[in-house]
Amino acid sequence: MSDSESIKKMLRSVLQSSKTGVSISSLQSEYRSLCGESIPLKRLGFSKLEDYLQSIPSVVRLENRMGELKCFAAVCEETAHIAELVAKQKSSKKSGRSQVVNCKMRFKPSNPYMLNGRRGCFLSSVGLYLSKDMMSEAIVSIQSSVYDVELVQTRLTELLKKYCSGLWISKLSGVYSEMFSQKLHPQVLGDLEKWTHICMVSKTSLSVFFCLSPIWPSQVEQPSSTNRVDRLIYPPLPPSPSVVPRTRTNKLKELLSKYSQGLWAHALPKLYMDTYKTPFPEHLLLNVSLYLDIWSVEYPIPHDKKKAILYNASRTDLEATDSKESQQCRCHTLPSGIQILGTVVPPFLVFPSEQYPSVLITDGISSNAVTIRYVGESYSNAQELMEDKMRFFYSQSPHHPLPNPAVGQLVAVRGEDGEELARAQVAEVTAPNKIKVYYVDYGFSVDTNGTNLLELHQDFLSLPFQATNVRLAGLEAFSSHPLVMSCLDQLALGKILLMETLEPRQQNETPLAVLYDTSQEDDININSACLKALQDKTMNNPLTVNVTYQNVCVTNVCADGILYCQLPCRGTARLSKLLEKTEAFFLAQMTSESLVSRPFCGKLCLARYKGKWSRVEITNMYGNRVMEILFIDFGVPATVEVTDLREIPPPLLKDFAFIPPQAIRCRLADLLIPQGDWSPDAVQWVKEAVLGSEDCNMKLDEQKGKLLVHMYLFIGADGQKLDKSINYQLAHSELWNKLASQSNTITSSNDSEDTGNTGQDPTLTKINSVACHPGYFVLQPWQDLHNLVVLMGEMILYYNQILKTNSSTHIQKGKVYAAKIDKNWHRVQVKGILTNGLVSVYELDHGKHELVRSSLIRPLIEEFRQLPFQAITAQLAGVTQHQWSEEACMLFRNHVEKRALVAHVESVQDVSEVKGELWERRLTVYLVDTTLEDRDLWIHNIMADIGGELSSAA
> Please, are residues 522 and 511 in contact by the beta-carbon 8 Å criterion?
no
> Please, are residues 903 and 877 in contact by the beta-carbon 8 Å criterion?
no
The predicted pLDDT at position 700 comes to 86
The predicted pLDDT at position 750 comes to 32
CATH of domain 332-478: 2.30.30.140
Domain spans of the chain, in order of start: 1-87, 248-312, 332-478, 525-739, 764-945
| Cα gap 769→938, rounded to integer Å | 21
Cα-Cα-Cα-Cα dihedral sign, residues 141, 142, 144, 145: positive
Collapse the DSSP code of 470 into the 3-class scheme (helix H, G, I; strand E, B; otherwise coil) and give the result.
strand
The predicted pLDDT at position 126 comes to 31
- Mean pLDDT along residues 424-447: 90
Residue 677: Cβ-neighbour burial (10 angstroms; 0-12, 13-18, 19+): middle
| Cα gap 296→317, rounded to integer Å | 10
- DSSP 8-state class, residue 318: H
CATH of domain 525-739: 2.30.30.140
Binning pLDDT at 50, 70 and 90, where does residue 175 land?
Answer: confident
The predicted pLDDT at position 150 comes to 79
Q: Give percent above pLDDT 90 in the chain.
A: 23
The predicted pLDDT at position 289 comes to 67
CATH architecture of the domain formed by 764-945: Roll (2.30)
User: Of 634, 392, 648, 638, which Cα lies nearest the Cα of 531?
Assistant: 648
The predicted pLDDT at position 361 comes to 94
Over the stretch 800-811, which tens digit does the pLDDT of each residue have? 888 776 667 889
- DSSP 8-state class, residue 377: I
> Please, are residues 601 and 473 in contact by the beta-carbon 8 Å criterion?
no
Over the stretch 557-608, which tens digit does the pLDDT of each residue have? 988 888 999 998 899 999 999 999 999 998 887 767 788 888 999 999 999 9
Residue 680: Cβ-neighbour burial (10 angstroms; 0-12, 13-18, 19+): middle
* Residues linked to residue 616 through DSSP beta bridges, in sequence order: 605, 631
| Cα gap 718→743, rounded to integer Å | 31
The predicted pLDDT at position 803 comes to 79
The predicted pLDDT at position 219 comes to 33
- Mean pLDDT along residues 770-799: 86
Over the stretch 819-846, which tens digit does the pLDDT of each residue have? 999 888 999 999 999 877 889 999 999 9
> Please, are residues 455 and 412 in contact by the beta-carbon 8 Å criterion?
yes
Distances (CA, A) of 705 to 659, 665, 666, 811: 20, 11, 11, 40
Amino acid, single-letter form, for residue 138: A
Residues in CB range of 116: below 8 A, 6 or more apart: 146, 149
Neighbours of 580 (CB within 10 A): 12
Neighbours of 421 (CB within 10 A): 24
| Cα gap 59→76, rounded to integer Å | 8
| Cα gap 19→15, rounded to integer Å | 8
With a cut of 60, say whether residue 514 has pLDDT above it: yes
Q: Give percent above pLDDT 70 in the chain.
A: 76
Q: Report the CATH fold assignment for 248-312.
A: Nucleotidyltransferase; domain 5 (3.30.420)
Over the stretch 604-656, which tens digit does the pLDDT of each residue have? 999 999 999 999 999 988 877 888 999 999 999 998 888 899 999 999 999 99
Angle at 678 between CA 673 and CA 679, to 5 degrees: 140
Over the stretch 237-273, which tens digit does the pLDDT of each residue have? 543 345 566 677 778 888 888 777 678 888 888 888 8
> Please, are residues 454 and 402 in contact by the beta-carbon 8 Å criterion?
yes
> Please, are residues 896 and 925 in contact by the beta-carbon 8 Å criterion?
no
Distances (CA, A) of 800 to 166, 636, 791, 818, 879: 47, 13, 14, 11, 45
> Please, are residues 336 and 438 in contact by the beta-carbon 8 Å criterion?
yes
Cα-Cα-Cα-Cα dihedral sign, residues 45, 51, 57, 62: positive
- Beta strand pairing status for 99-101 and 128-130? antiparallel
With a cut of 60, say whether residue 139 has pLDDT above it: no
Average pLDDT, the chain: 76
Q: Does domain 1-87 have CATH number 3.30.70.380?
A: no
Sheet strands (E) in 253-368: 263-264, 295-298, 309-312, 358-366
Residue 546 — left, alpha, or beta (φ > 0 → left; ψ -120 to 50 → alpha)?
left
The predicted pLDDT at position 836 comes to 77
With a cut of 90, say whether residue 1 has pLDDT above it: no
Backbone angles phi, psi at 674, to 5 degrees: -70, 160
Collapse the DSSP code of 543 into the 3-class scheme (helix H, G, I; strand E, B; otherwise coil) and give the result.
coil
| Cα gap 799→788, rounded to integer Å | 16
Over the stretch 84-133, which tens digit does the pLDDT of each residue have? 444 444 333 333 332 332 222 222 223 222 223 322 332 232 333 333 33
Over the stretch 914-947, which tens digit does the pLDDT of each residue have? 455 556 678 899 998 877 767 788 998 888 877 5
Amino acid, single-letter form, for residue 508: N
Can 1-87 and 332-478 be said to share one CATH topology? no
> Please, are residues 884 and 774 in contact by the beta-carbon 8 Å criterion?
yes
| Cα gap 941→424, rounded to integer Å | 45
Neighbours of 459 (CB within 10 A): 10
Sheet strands (E) in 723-783: 771-773, 776-779
Residues composing the chain: 954
The predicted pLDDT at position 327 comes to 36
How far, rounded to the nearest angstrom, does the alpha carbon of residue 32 sit from its chain's CA centroid? Answer: 38
> Please, are residues 312 and 304 in contact by the beta-carbon 8 Å criterion?
no
With a cut of 70, say whether residue 229 has pLDDT above it: no
> Please, are residues 289 and 608 in contact by the beta-carbon 8 Å criterion?
no
Q: Cis link prior to 401 (omega < 30° from 0)? A: no
Over the stretch 270-310, which tens digit does the pLDDT of each residue have? 888 888 888 888 777 877 766 766 887 776 665 566 678 88
> Please, are residues 811 and 854 in contact by the beta-carbon 8 Å criterion?
yes
